Chain A
């Protein structure tokens, strides 16, 4: 399973800076998909140095359709030998990163990392109030799990407080990270950040505590219909649920995010068991899942 991180955010929020920083410091074989207009700004040399690959996704449509080449790009990445160790999709500045994240749910071979959305500390309120861009930016934040506020060195305290307030209004479930230069370590973008904060303030300006997690036993098979009912009942405080379980007699991989879920054949080498990741408001799920057995 290849971890897949979708990075969204409006034009100028620092997505490409963040991707380049990850490439320069991550020490992994990266695959990068860029779903944006024109040339790829991601540093190709950095990708080549890690033996990885970059692909640009332009609209593959005749005229009036959104492109469906993202899935093609993911499949091509997964088919590479050796495959990338981690794939990043940089969403278009006007795209909806949640749509892209949903594609990863149904794409075999990938496991969806937190949905990361960048916002510009100096520009977010104006973008949200702009009659041409407001709904686009709000929609980008609607399913974000990690919101990275960039360029905080250019904003004063009052501006920053306003940015936090606007984010909290749109997506209270998200963890919010502040940074000056979008130069975050890879670990800051996972559900489980490192125990100790990094040494340098320029690496990551603030790392808050991890998302609460719960383990749910899955040794007993679940009943298909009842599990579907339980998944439909999960509150918004459950951000993710993933793992291998028995669905009747089938051994399957479940991936759940924001009221959407997909089952695919379970890969070898993973033990049965589900992990739920959520906000501090996440209720005890064991009782709920016992209904599905």
Chain B
């Protein structure tokens, strides 16, 4: 064949295609941003392409897909990160990894010294669960800056620590006794604020919207930087208000020639009446481009397990905490599911506790009975405590699941001790049961709740190790091939994009993650440590550094 200047052929040590007709290749040919062929060295001649051998000793896999992330991760880094687990900032630096209150205080003190006077110091990601020694107190934060408001947000999202200046500005004193103001043994406030009521008041007092900023173009660019470093070429933004400003920012960022990911935002149904929401999502769908796909609708049924706001079935929380609150009543959920289902839309429903998963499954079943519809792919997100019975019904109704595998590591020890207890924790994010019941599976990070990194998410689902090294539910482990599928083709399926992305097959977008080793054959405990060399999105190469 004559030379075609539009064709590039990437060679690799191995190309893991997930193409059922040829699972492993060494060369992949790309034209116009899409895959035109793959196979052995003959591919170069077959398509008249130019050989690009820069990845010749690497492994190419389908670009990773984050089926449940939040682009607000790109905004978080405008505030200092003070977490126990190190994370990578958009600029590539490793941040956090603090092992004690003293380390956190020292870090904040150094940052404070560089700040102009008056501006509040708001930090995020604090995670004292694994700390030895005393808890963070108001005195610690007063040492950092007696004259400046200091706020430390916990990674769980349900607690803030503040200094005296914030307590005074918020009107909180030891004389008051309302839920959420934590006291020490001397009866004085510790500066720890629990729950939205007192946290919201403190956030208003600092005049810093804190960590709830509006998505903007620069934040999306930063999210793209975070994503491409870990091999991600498509990510959801799973709770988007779809305000005109949000939509403009997404359209602007995703149209930039060097934006490295495809973005799949989900419209938060709660922002709209059912009627307005149906109109809004229909209007948004028309704006879809190859790098920005609208169509998902997000519903939230309950809270979080670690925050004790998830809805659990019997026997409830292991430590006896009362059940969480519904975020939407069963009757409203039924009406909402039916309306969006009947109109042909695609629901992604947050359910953490098993009672929430049971309820959402029931309501989708009712919607299907009222409006039979094939291939809807309604997906339960998190679905952390579902058992075989729930998965069996989900399969019967044609539903998909996206399990929160990262929870096994980041909160697994807490779940074993406080929320689920030692037996039930074995079915936390039961990947194997989901697959064996035939439910299409994706796995996720819910970034910024846990760090975005599909290698790590695969590692969690394959090994099921908690942060202290305890195996949680060995029988729920899945294979490396199943885990790779769950962060590529499996996730694509839950987004109705499996005809476009998720595998290396002719006709699909040329979206690849270029790795130093093969996640299918590497030692299972090393999956998370495989270096990401580059990503390719629509045929365009993005180096990770």
- A residues sitting closer than 8 Å to B (CB atoms) are 10-12, 37-39, 58-72, 75, 93-96, 99, 102-103, 105-108, 132-133, 135-136, 139, 224-225, 228, 231-232, 247, 252, 259-264
Q: What interface size band does chain B fall in?
A: 35 or more
Selecting from B56-64, B80-88, B323-331, B414-422, the interface stretch reads B323-331
Q: Are B172 and A72 in contact, with the CB atoms below 8 A? A: no
- Please give me the residue from chain A that is nearest to B241 by CB atom: A58
CB of B176 within 8 A of chain A?
yes
Q: For A99, give its contact among B171, B197, B352 (CB under 8 Å).
A: B197
B272 cross-chain contacts in A, Cβ below 8 A: 38-39
Q: Are B352 and A94 in contact, with the CB atoms below 8 A? A: no
**Alpha-carbon separation in the docked complex, A221 to B321 (Å):** 39
B171 cross-chain contacts in A, Cβ below 8 A: 106, 108, 264
Q: How far is the CB of A247 from chain B (nearest CB, A)?
A: 6
B204 cross-chain contacts in A, Cβ below 8 A: 71-72, 75
CB of B307 within 8 A of chain A?
yes
Q: Are A68 and B200 in contact, with the CB atoms below 8 A? A: yes
A225 cross-chain contacts in B, Cβ below 8 A: 187
Residue from A12, A65, A102 with most neighbouring chain B CB atoms (10 Å) = A65
CB of B426 within 8 A of chain A?
no
Mark B349-389 against chain A: 1 for CB-CB distance below 8 A, else 0.
01010010001000000000000000000000000000000
CB of B256 within 8 A of chain A?
no
5 other A-B residue contacts (CB within 8 Å) besides A66-B327, A71-B200, A108-B171: A66-B195, A94-B328, A132-B355, A139-B322, A263-B173
A66 cross-chain contacts in B, Cβ below 8 A: 195-196, 303, 309, 325, 327
Q: For A71, give its contact among B177, B201, B322, B446 (CB under 8 Å).
A: B201
Q: Are A11 and B200 in contact, with the CB atoms below 8 A? A: no
Residue from A66, A259, A261 with most neighbouring chain B CB atoms (10 Å) = A66
CB of B304 within 8 A of chain A?
yes
- B residues sitting closer than 8 Å to A (CB atoms) are 70, 72, 157-158, 171-173, 175-179, 187, 195-201, 203-204, 212, 238-239, 270-277, 300, 303-304, 307, 309, 322-323, 325-332, 336, 350, 352, 355, 359, 446, 448-449
Assess A65 versus B157: contact at CB under 8 Å? Given A106-B178, A228-B177, A247-B175.
Answer: yes
Q: For B177, give its contact among A107, A247, A261 (CB under 8 Å).
A: A261
**Alpha-carbon separation in the docked complex, A75 to B330 (Å):** 31
**Alpha-carbon separation in the docked complex, A263 to B181 (Å):** 13
A93 cross-chain contacts in B, Cβ below 8 A: 329, 332
**Alpha-carbon separation in the docked complex, A63 to B303 (Å):** 8
Q: Are B197 and A103 in contact, with the CB atoms below 8 A? A: yes
Q: Are A38 and B449 in contact, with the CB atoms below 8 A? A: no
A-B pairs, top 5 by smallest CB distance, nearest first, are A68-B200, A39-B273, A68-B196, A64-B304, A38-B273
Q: What are 13 sample pairs from A and B whose C-beta atoms fall under 8 A apart?
A: A11-B332, A39-B275, A62-B212, A62-B448, A63-B350, A66-B327, A67-B196, A93-B332, A102-B178, A132-B359, A133-B326, A224-B175, A228-B187
Q: For A64, give its contact among B72, B177, B309, B329 (CB under 8 Å).
A: B309
**Alpha-carbon separation in the docked complex, A155 to B28 (Å):** 73
Q: Are A135 and B323 in contact, with the CB atoms below 8 A? A: yes
Q: For B276, give its contact among A39, A102, A228 (CB under 8 Å).
A: A39
Assess A64 versus B303: contact at CB under 8 Å? Given A11-B331, A102-B178, A136-B325.
Answer: yes
Q: How far is the CB of A241 from chain B (nearest CB, A)?
A: 12
A261 cross-chain contacts in B, Cβ below 8 A: 176-178
B187 cross-chain contacts in A, Cβ below 8 A: 225, 228
Assess A59 versus B197: contact at CB under 8 Å? Given A11-B332, A96-B325, A102-B178.
Answer: no
